[in-house]
Amino acid sequence: MDLVRYRPIFQLFDWFAGNTTAANVLISFFAAGVMIFMIFPVREYACGMMAKCLGDDTAERQGRLTLNPFAHIDPLGSLMLLLFPLGWSKPMPINPGRCNKVSGKTAMLLITLAGPAALIIVAYIFMIIFKLLLINMANEAMAYSVIAVSLIVQICAFIAVLNLLPIPPLAGSRILFFFLKPRQMYKIMEHQRIITMVFFVLLFIPNSPLMWLIQQLAFYLLSALNFLSGFIR
């Protein structure tokens, strides 16, 4: 399985490394557009919908329970994504205290897991579309469609893995906090600034252990989706 050619999302933003071809620039901006207008809204909507199902309608009351990307765009986060391989959307407004169906701690865990779960489902749907297009590819225009769809699959898998990492400031840190005692959680929060700085340094160092881990996990996830869609040949 190569999905045309598996490329971790950070390697798509490679014109800074001297590989400044028009195709790379277009692919990279397409990747940024997919993240801003599809992936981020899907993730935020899933988190908001999970919160609503648990009893918290804060996101709905603030007009954020929607797939409309303009409700979730953070101008600075989008600009950063266009310039560097790093960006973000507006955080979904969540009030765990209003989640009356489970405890606040459990609510945060379920809400956190809803985002990557939705992205994995989207990746699986587009994996199926990718394979169907690949089977019926008849011309160059179709080939570009195949590459575009494969890119969406890869980005969804990459962001899903990134959101599951139990490292502050990532959303996945809430998964870690669920299993920790309050004193242990506060201890980590005391050092969150240092942890965040180390995280971002490792994120941009070529061949860093963190990037290797993220890329490996994303590849395993893609392999699993490829296996689950093996009925298409």
Taking the CA atoms of the chain, what radius of gyration do you get in angstroms? 19
Q: 210 lies in a domain?
A: yes
Q: How many Cβ atoms from other residues are within 10 Å of residue 122's Cβ?
A: 22
Residue owning tokens 């180390």: 198
Which amino acid makes up residue 198? V
pLDDT tens for each residue of 63-92: 999 999 999 999 998 887 777 666 789 989
Separation between Cα atoms, residue 215 and residue 212, nearest integer Å: 5
Q: 128 lies in a domain?
A: yes
- The domain of 215 spans 9-228
pLDDT tens for each residue of 19-65: 556 666 677 778 788 889 999 999 999 999 999 999 999 999 999 99
Spatial contact of 188 and 180, defined as CB atoms under 8 Å apart? yes
Give the C-alpha distances (Å, rounded to integers) separating 115 from 28, 47, 55, 82, 90.
Answer: 23, 5, 17, 22, 14
pLDDT tens for each residue of 188-201: 888 888 888 888 78
Q: 233 lies in a domain?
A: no
Q: 182 lies in a domain?
A: yes
Buried b / exposed e over 92-118, threshold 16 CB at 10 Å, is: bbbebeebeeeeeeebbbbbbbbbbbb
Number of domains comprising the chain:
1
Q: 2 lies in a domain?
A: no
Q: What local confidence, expressed as pLDDT, does residue 84 receive?
A: 67
Which amino acid makes up residue 212? W
pLDDT average, residue stretch 1-22: 54
- In the chain, how long is the greatest CA-to-CA distance? 61
Q: 1 lies in a domain?
A: no
